Amino acid sequence: MLTRLTICLFLALSPALPVIASEPQRVTTDGTNKRDPHFVSDTEVVYCYDEAPDLIRMMRVNLSGGEPEVVYKDSGDKHHIEPCFAPNGRYVVFTECTGNLTARLVIRDTEKSKDAYITHKGRGGTRSPCFSPASDLVVYAFAETGPQQLWSVKPDGSDKKQVSQTEGISNWPTFTPDGKRIVFSNSRENNYEIYSMNLDGSDEKRLTENSLMDIRPCVSPDGTQVAFTSTRDGNYEVYVMNIDGSNIRRITHTEERDDYATWHPDGKRLVFVGERAGRFDLFLVPVPK
């Protein structure tokens, strides 16, 4: 009886049980400094990488192989980071560095070949934009007057408004598949924790509770799980939890950095940036249930 109780207690209190997962499959091999992978189809991933010591460029790679290709060859000397492609395939949103200390949000309409630029007063930079499942809204992070809040804007650049009103730094918004809630990180509890809330900021729920960072949440296509990065085990590793914050599972197990997890459209696998022998590549790993 005592033994069963001990086991039950252990299982209930263990925050992140190790999960035996398949070995991650390497997607790229060039080893350059990479970030922000994002699926644009079942077979293609867009990511950003250091093309030169002074330039971050957007690339596209096919999971089945082949050489990565530059997405926008005419971007000049402007850094491009954090791309997100709309589910309807029409829009792309990303952050573009246009000058010293200034970065704006670009929402590119690929049907009309037209860009909408989302700017705020003064210098500063937008962060981590994401599209709603209906492709009718972009949510991103920006600090205009102090605490960094979440904002929303329509794909044509209209109707920009602040959607969160909280202390600390909010970042990395991601939609649930029904488009009704946003999962994001906020730092008001002394470090980044993951929360979810309705689009209007109501009904906030805290999903993680840890003394170290829990960042970059990414909701699975079926809306039941959240992948994220945490340093809770000593360095950057990828984890998955249920949408309510329960059943945290550690997905990567290396002494080097694993970060920037994003769901494959099949909802069974993740692509992430893994550091191996000091080099950075994309890896694909199945997520155990």
Partner 1 sequence: MLEFGRFKANTCSGVSRRGFVKTAATIPLALSAGIPSLAEAEEARERAKAKSVLLLWLWGGPSHIDMVDPKPNAPMEYRGPFGTIATKTPGMHFTELLPRLASRSDKFSVIRSMQTSNGGHPGAGTVGLTGYEENAGPIQPNFGSIVSKHQGQIGALPPFFYVGRGIPRDLPRRIEGYGGGTLGKAYDPFLVSCSETGEVGIPTLNMLPGMTPDRIVDRKRLLQQLDATRQQLDSAKIRDWNRSHQSAYGLLTDENARSAFDLTKEDPKTRDSYGQTTFGQSCLLARRLIEAQVPYVQVNWSEYVETFTPNGDFGWDTHIYNFELLQDRHCPIFDRAFSALLDDMYDRGLMEETLVIAMGEFGRTPKISNRASREHWQHCYFSIWAGGGVQAGRCIGESDAKAEHPVTRPITPLMTGTTISELCGIGARERAEMKVLDGGSLIHELL
| Residues of this chain that bind partner 1 (CB under 8 A) | 31-33, 35, 50, 53-54, 76-79, 97-103, 122-125, 127, 143-148, 167-169, 171, 187-188, 190-192, 211-213, 215, 231, 234-236, 257, 259, 275, 277-280
Complex with partner 1: residue 126 or 225, whichever CB lies closer: 126
User: Between the CA atoms of 214, 215, 218 and 220, what dihedral angle is there, to the nearest 10 degrees?
Assistant: -10
From the CB of 227, what's the least distance to partner 1, in Å? 17
From the CB of 19, what's the least distance to partner 1, in Å? 23
From the CB of 90, what's the least distance to partner 1, in Å? 28
From the CB of 281, what's the least distance to partner 1, in Å? 11
Complex with partner 1: residue 147 or 267, whichever CB lies closer: 147
Say how far apart CA 265 and CA 85 lie, in whole Å: 13
- Please state whether 245 falls in left (phi above 0), alpha (psi between -120 and 50) or beta: left
Say how far apart CA 230 and CA 275 lie, in whole Å: 15
Say how far apart CA 233 and CA 49 lie, in whole Å: 26
Contacts 24+ apart (CB under 8 A), 65-69: 68/28, 68/30
Complex with partner 1: residue 155 or 274, whichever CB lies closer: 274
From 175, 244, 176, 182, select the one nearest 209 (Cα to Cα): 244
DSSP-assigned beta bridge partners for residue 61: 45
From the CB of 257, what's the least distance to partner 1, in Å? 6
CA 58 to chain CA mean position, Å:
15
Complex with partner 1: residue 50 or 204, whichever CB lies closer: 50
Tokens 């690339």 locate to 59
Complex with partner 1: residue 66 or 76, whichever CB lies closer: 76
From the CB of 28, what's the least distance to partner 1, in Å? 13
**Helix (H) or strand (E) run with residue 217 in it:** strand 214-219
Complex with partner 1: residue 33 or 242, whichever CB lies closer: 33
> Which residues touch 158 (CB under 8 Å, ≥6 apart)?
none
From the CB of 286, what's the least distance to partner 1, in Å? 26
Say how far apart CA 146 and CA 125 lie, in whole Å: 13
Complex with partner 1: residue 123 or 206, whichever CB lies closer: 123
